Amino acid sequence: MRDATIERLVDERVASRVNAKDATLYSFSDEARKCSENFMGWANLPSNPPCPLNEIKQLAAKFTEAGMKSAILIGQGGSTQAAMTMTKFNKANSDIKFRVADSDSPVRVRKMLAEVDPHTTLVIVSSKSGGTLEMRSLFCAIRTAFAEVLPEDELCRHFVAITDPGSALEAQAQEENWGGILSGEPTVGGRFSALSVFGLFPAAVAGIDIDALLAQGLRAEKDCSEDSEANPAIQLAAFLYANWCDHRDKFSFFTQKRLRALGLWIEQLVAESVGKNGVGVLPQLETSPLLLAEDRGDRAVVTYHTTTGVWDDADDFERCQACIDSAMPRLDYTVGGVEDLGYHFVMWEYATAMLGYLMQVSPFDQPDVASVKARVLELLDAGLPEPSFTDERSTDIGAIEVRTSECCKSASDVRAALYSLFASIEPGNYFAMNAFLPFDGYTRREALGRIRREVADTCKVMSCLEIGPRYMHSTGQLQKGGANNGVYLLISSGEPRDIELEGVPAASLGQLSKAQATGDFMILAERGRRCLHLHLPDNSTVTLQRFAFLVSEVLTGL
């Protein structure tokens, strides 16, 4: 779909500045040009796969023929998002039950372990650098659990490493004779690696035809390399850039449940790529169509439709789309089968690189993600600082540790702190609840979703629910490096039954999670962001429901 805004932008602004040959080669700084040249391997992955497809397919077949019924993919950010998108979309057609371990919640890890049989489970450890703290910690927990069941000589045969050559993970896998090692391509950055081995091997394990997937990617590569207004990447980049120029620096991604993981992949790709140097475009996965029924002038909408065999599902989605205010600029796409994702991965990657060119930021670095990683390691080594105060009396939740930033530093209890945070929200801002909590179990997600929706409805802003630590490798870059128009509530909790770790910087998953929430809050506060960190005594359904009621009461008083 092309509307008048896109036509005008392609003709007047973009066509003269963006073409597929030079869109990712920056003229505005030598540093940006060097960064671009070092990370351009993604641009021709479909036509020139660096890892032989037969090697990928043979290794996947080795495990399926061995009777594997489950797979756990351990990683963060670009190492998991594309794989999660494809495997969730293909869930009904796969003989392998696929799970992604990118949450360091002990509740989540225990649930995952309870659902699999180590004897028939493949563990894919995915990390370009091979040293990501979350990956190391989660692998430690899962490996320890598997070692209680599997004989020592069999244990490592269940592991496959996907990592760049020369990494510590590669060395470990070689030394321990793992079941497989696949090498990444160093010139392909993590969030641009959808059609590299990081996405293709999990897809092959899940029974997806990677030849058909790459065929669609190749078609997109050719289309996105055309110096033409019909180039879909130019159209998409033009749409996002035109809206950004018109102060619509956010867009809501709306789709059916089957495709929502694609929104998480797009969220990371766009937010982490262009959210820096005081600018950015924020994607948001919207699940509540009525929140799109009024145009507030600060966002656009991207919708994705996919086929469904149930008439009621299709009809319901059409009714939801009809709620979207027609005044909001909008693009509509359709994905048929899982192989079509190959086309859309490539289109979004090209468009994001072009958008970076237009906004004059390098889409291939993530400086503020690195800053939080360093801070978390410091906290794990030296210990966490004392909270601003601990509130034990003003709620029925129990003792809540509170860390305040400048916007709520005068607060002396939780209610006052929350009031000050919400009162600081202005028109055109967005709110993000960065939750280092389990989303599994009875109504935990519902309680958190309720908070997100009520803030959106009361404060009339885009509202995001982010899962920690996943968001730290995604929108976390934009939150700290983009424009100062976000308001952040970080939530972590005590763990009544923690999972201890050995051989990694964190003593337990619970300690790691609290250090991550604290470290991220500290960096946000140092950047002058409006933020508040609450550490709840536990993450039970009762506690989260009570917290949701507390937030409702505070919002009522605004």
Per-residue pLDDT tens digits for 478-512: 999 999 999 999 999 999 999 999 999 999 999 99
Q: What distance in Å separates the CA atoms of residue 413 and residue 392, rounded to the nearest whole number?
A: 9
Q: Is the pLDDT of residue 57 over 80?
A: yes
Q: Residue 512 sits in a domain of what CATH number?
A: 3.40.50.10490
Looking at the structure of the chain, the number of domains it has is 3
Q: Is the pLDDT of residue 84 over 90?
A: yes
Show the CA angle centred on residue 43, arms to residues 40 and 45, nearest 5°.
110
Residue 427: CA count within 13 A, CB half-sphere:
4
Q: What distance in Å separates the CA atoms of residue 52 and residue 245, rounded to the nearest whole number?
A: 42
Residues 314 and 421 in one domain: no
Residues 382 and 321 in one domain: no
Which residues span the domain enclosing 290? 4-38+216-359
Q: Is the pLDDT of residue 15 over 50?
A: no
Query: Is the distance from CB of 482 to CB of 425 less than 8 angstroms?
Result: no
CA distances from 33 to 19, 22, 364, 482 (A): 16, 11, 10, 21
Residues 406 and 499 in one domain: yes
Q: What distance in Å separates the CA atoms of residue 82 and residue 406, rounded to the nearest whole number?
A: 37
Rounded to the nearest integer, the mean pLDDT of the chain is 92
pLDDT at 512: 98
Provide the pLDDT confidence category of residue 37 given band limits of 50, 70 and 90: low
What lies within 8 Å, CB to CB, of 235 at 6+ separation is 2, 6, 10, 229
CA distances from 74 to 79, 84, 116, 349 (A): 8, 11, 15, 23
Q: What distance in Å separates the CA atoms of residue 13 and residue 235, rounded to the nearest whole number?
A: 12
**Across the chain, how many H-helices and E-strands are there?**
20, 15
What interhelical angle do 81-89 and 260-274 show, nearest 10? 160
The last residue of a domain, from among 181, 208, 235: 208
Residues 331 and 422 in one domain: no
Q: Is the pLDDT of residue 310 over 90?
A: no
pLDDT at 24: 42
Residues 201 and 279 in one domain: no
Show the CA angle centred on residue 512, arms to residues 511 and 517, nearest 5°.
100
Provide the pLDDT confidence category of residue 428 given band limits of 50, 70 and 90: very high
Q: Is the pLDDT of residue 46 over 60?
A: yes
Phi, psi of 98, deg, nearest 5: -105, 130
Q: Is the pLDDT of residue 196 over 90?
A: yes
Phi-psi region of 305 (alpha: psi -120 to 50; beta: other; left: phi over 0): beta
Strands (E), 351-399: 389-391
Unique residue bearing structure tokens 């803030």: 455
CA 500 to chain centre: 26
Q: Is the pLDDT of residue 11 over 60?
A: no
DSSP for 448-487?
HHHHHHHHHHHHTSEEEEEETTGGGGTHHHHHHHS-S-EE
Residues 184 and 239 in one domain: no
The amino acid at residue 380 is L
Share of the chain above pLDDT 90, in %: 87
The last residue of a domain, from among 192, 208, 224: 208
Residues 371 and 342 in one domain: no
DSSP for 165-219?
TT-HHHHHHHHTT-SEEEEPPTTS-GGG-TTSHHHHHHHHHTT--HHHHHHHHHH
Residues 526 and 384 in one domain: yes
Render pLDDT for 165-177 as a digit per residue (tens, 0 to 9). Answer: 999 999 999 999 9
Q: What distance in Å separates the CA atoms of residue 132 and residue 129, rounded to the nearest whole number?
A: 7
Residues 410 and 506 in one domain: yes
pLDDT at 200: 97
Residues 273 and 201 in one domain: no
Q: Is the pLDDT of residue 443 over 90?
A: no
Mean per-residue pLDDT for 508-535?
A: 98
Lowest mean pLDDT among 24-28, 187-191, 272-276: 24-28
Mean per-residue pLDDT for 152-175?
A: 96
Mean per-residue pLDDT for 17-22?
A: 45
Residues 204 and 220 in one domain: no
pLDDT at 218: 98
Residues 352 and 372 in one domain: no
Render pLDDT for 317-353 as a digit per residue (tens, 0 to 9). Answer: 999 999 999 999 999 999 999 999 999 999 999 999 9
The last residue of a domain, from among 303, 326, 359: 359
SS3 string of 299-357?
Answer: EEEEEEEECCCCHHHHHHHHHHHHCCCCCCCEEEEEECCHHHHHHHHHHHHHHHHHHHH
Of 489, 461, 490, 479, residue with least CA distance to 528 = 479
Q: What 3-state class would DSSP assign to 46?
A: coil
Render pLDDT for 230-266 as a digit per residue (tens, 0 to 9). Answer: 999 999 999 999 999 999 999 999 999 999 999 999 9
Render pLDDT for 410-422 as a digit per residue (tens, 0 to 9). Answer: 999 999 999 999 9
What lies within 8 Å, CB to CB, of 29 at 6+ separation is none
Q: What distance in Å separates the CA atoms of residue 318 and residue 302, rounded to the nearest whole number?
A: 14
Query: Is the distance from CB of 133 to CB of 139 less than 8 angstroms?
Result: no
